């Protein structure tokens, strides 16, 4: 099990993260009042990954000068016990002197560190996130322990650390593209179960005409054209007792979990009422979590003017969901057994895009051209000048733009650049990210330290 230490100065949100990861298992934690605890341990979980958590919170009660030395000793111990360190700062407050001390300690530790810029749910935290990069621990993850934002990025970071550790232990490179993690999501009654049945080619899950006879999700290991797929079925797990409850509402929490666990999400919609409010909400969750998406239009056999309707829906998708412009739209007809191969082809296609790495040279040639065509804005009489751009990670593709007067670069220009990258490098459907960073003296300084 991956051992994870949560460190940072008091009040940044460590316990909130601990609780979120530990969930119900929190009951196991010794939290008796009056007991001076300087460390909590517990089991946690993120998506399909089990974690052994070490939380170093609990120094708030100590008011004397021993605080710092005790905190330091405690943190050092947690760090040496852990495989991965989650270092948290409060992005709303920005980087403090104490944060810098922690960072110095962690840079020396030579362990993988995930830098979480917490309380990032508000706009006021953007500057803090940008500042956190200066700690020399790589790109900070904008995070909100309270709202659960950034969990997918945390999951990806932990997963990578886990793979690296395993590779060190066994001396073998583990295959990242092990199996495609696919989640089938959508409103009740959209046609998810019917689709899954058809794909699996056997009646492994029951379909029914009632809305939401299902609850919880199940995972099914499966393969398509000899490629392994792990399917998460949010409509699965039909227990007789629960059928009576007739859930008619979409469970957002359940959907969110399925999204966070997935690499590609298939959003199934009834073609007669696709891209309505709830569909847009789900699609937005997928984009915010940075997952790739395929839109599935179920019950296509019931559509009367198919060509017209298809154009209509394509238009709607691009207009209402610009963040995943160009995502594949697949028509399904379960009754005629049609569309499933296209769906899987589309899923593997967007998966590739989601894993894409664009070469820095190509990216910067493109950036120069893009700036010539559409020069960056002038703010307060001076031009905001992007210097260079690099892709810092894949899954989803994430870019850092280094810029003079970075804080002044308008969001519209960032969007223009992202859309440009999307087009130039053929990456539709993938929710990409761009972070803007202030120009430093040495533009080719290493990512870490």
Which positions touch ligand GDP (CB under 6 A)? 8, 10-16, 57, 118-119, 121, 144-147, 186, 188-194, 207-209, 235, 298-299, 301-302, 332-335
Kindly state the smallest distance separating residue 186's Cβ from ligand GDP, in Å: 6
Residue closer to ligand GDP, measured from CB, 118 or 255: 118
Residue closer to ligand GDP, measured from CB, 15 or 232: 15
Kindly state the smallest distance separating residue 208's Cβ from ligand GDP, in Å: 5
Tell me the C-alpha to C-alpha distance, in Å, between residue 211 and each of 73, 187, 244, 245, 313: 56, 9, 11, 11, 23
d(CA 434, CA 437): 10
Question: Contact at 8 Å (CB) between 216 and 254?
Answer: yes
Residue closer to ligand GDP, measured from CB, 8 or 397: 8
Q: Please state the φ and ψ torsions of residue 355, each to the nearest 5 degrees.
A: -95, 5
Q: Which residue has the tokens 């909100």?
A: 144
Residue closer to ligand GDP, measured from CB, 13 or 431: 13
Kindly state the smallest distance separating residue 343's Cβ from ligand GDP, in Å: 12
Kindly state the smallest distance separating residue 81's Cβ from ligand GDP, in Å: 18
Kindly state the smallest distance separating residue 65's Cβ from ligand GDP, in Å: 19
Q: Which residue has the tokens 């495609």?
A: 180
Kindly state the smallest distance separating residue 194's Cβ from ligand GDP, in Å: 3
Kindly state the smallest distance separating residue 351's Cβ from ligand GDP, in Å: 23
Residue closer to ligand GDP, measured from CB, 199 or 370: 199
Kind of pairing, strands 264-270 and 180-186? parallel
Residue closer to ligand GDP, measured from CB, 146 or 276: 146
Element (H, E) at 322: none
Q: Report which DSSP code applies to 127.
A: H
Tell me the C-alpha to C-alpha distance, in Å, between residue 60 and each of 57, 67, 86, 230: 8, 9, 19, 44
Residue closer to ligand GDP, measured from CB, 344 or 421: 344
Residue closer to ligand GDP, measured from CB, 154 or 432: 154
Kind of pairing, strands 227-233 and 218-224? antiparallel
Kindly state the smallest distance separating residue 201's Cβ from ligand GDP, in Å: 15
Kindly state the smallest distance separating residue 166's Cβ from ligand GDP, in Å: 30
Closest by Cα among 359, 360, 423 to 389: 360
d(CA 127, CA 148): 20
Question: Contact at 8 Å (CB) between 152 and 291?
Answer: yes
Q: What are the tokens at 199?
A: 């794909």
Kindly state the smallest distance separating residue 118's Cβ from ligand GDP, in Å: 5
Q: Report which DSSP code applies to 51.
A: E
Q: What are the tokens at 81?
A: 């016990």
CA angle (15, 159, 54) in 5-degree steps:
30
Q: What are the tokens at 72?
A: 């330091």
d(CA 143, CA 89): 10
The order of strands in the sheet holding 40-46 is 40-46, 49-55, 2-7, 84-90, 113-118, 141-142
Residue closer to ligand GDP, measured from CB, 266 or 327: 266
Residue closer to ligand GDP, measured from CB, 133 or 143: 143
Closest by Cα among 338, 222, 317, 332 to 274: 317
């Amino acid at each position: 099990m991956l051992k994870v230490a949560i460190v940072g100065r008091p009040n940044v949100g460590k316990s909130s993260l601990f609780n979120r990861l530990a969930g119900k298992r929190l009951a196991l934690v010794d939290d008796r009042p009056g007991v001076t605890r300087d460390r909590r341990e517990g089991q946690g979980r993120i998506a399909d990954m089990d974690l052994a958590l070490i939380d170093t919170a609990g120094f708030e009660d100590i008011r004397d000068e021993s605080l710092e030395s005790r905190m330091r000793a405690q943190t050092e111990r947690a760090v040496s016990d852990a495989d991965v360190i989650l270092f948290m700062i409060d992005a709303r407050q920005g980087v403090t002197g104490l944060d810098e001390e922690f960072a110095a300690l962690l840079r020396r530790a030579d362990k993988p560190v995930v830098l979480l810029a917490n309380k990032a749910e508000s706009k006021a935290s953007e500057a803090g996130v940008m500042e956190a990069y200066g700690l020399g621990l790589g790109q900070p993850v904008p995070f909100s322990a309270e709202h659960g934002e950034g969990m997918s990025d945390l999951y990806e970071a932990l997963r990578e650390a886990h793979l690296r550790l395993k590779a060190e232990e066994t001396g073998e490179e583990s295959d990242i593209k092990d199996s495609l993690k696919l989640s089938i999501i959508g409103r009740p009654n959209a046609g998810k179960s019917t689709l899954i049945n058809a794909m699996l080619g056997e009646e492994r899950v029951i379909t029914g005409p009632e809305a939401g006879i299902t609850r919880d999700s199940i995972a099914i290991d499966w393969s398509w054209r000899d490629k392994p797929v792990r399917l998460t079925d949010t409509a699965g797990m039909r227990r007789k007792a629960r059928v009576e409850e007739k859930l008619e509402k979409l469970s957002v929490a359940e959907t969110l979990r399925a999204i966070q666990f997935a690499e590609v999400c298939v959003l199934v919609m009834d073609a007669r009422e696709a891209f309505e409010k709830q569909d847009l909400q789900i699609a937005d969750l997928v984009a915010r979590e940075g997952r790739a998406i395929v839109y599935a239009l179920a019950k296509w056999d019931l559509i009367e003017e198919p060509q017209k309707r298809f154009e209509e829906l394509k238009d709607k998708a691009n207009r209402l969901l610009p963040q995943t412009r160009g995502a594949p739209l697949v028509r399904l007809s379960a009754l005629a057994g049609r569309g499933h191969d296209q769906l899987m082809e589309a899923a593997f296609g967007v998966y590739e895009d989601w894993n894409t790495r664009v070469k820095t040279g190509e990216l910067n040639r493109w950036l120069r051209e893009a700036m010539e065509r559409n020069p960056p804005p002038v703010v307060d009489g001076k031009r905001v000048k992007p210097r260079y751009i690099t892709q810092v990670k894949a899954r989803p593709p994430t870019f850092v733009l280094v810029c003079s007067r970075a804080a002044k670069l308008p969001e519209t220009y960032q969007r223009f650049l992202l859309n440009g990258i999307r087009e130039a490098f053929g990456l539709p459907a993938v929710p990409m990210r761009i972070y803007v960073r202030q120009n430093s003296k040495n533009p080719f300084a290493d990512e870490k330290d």
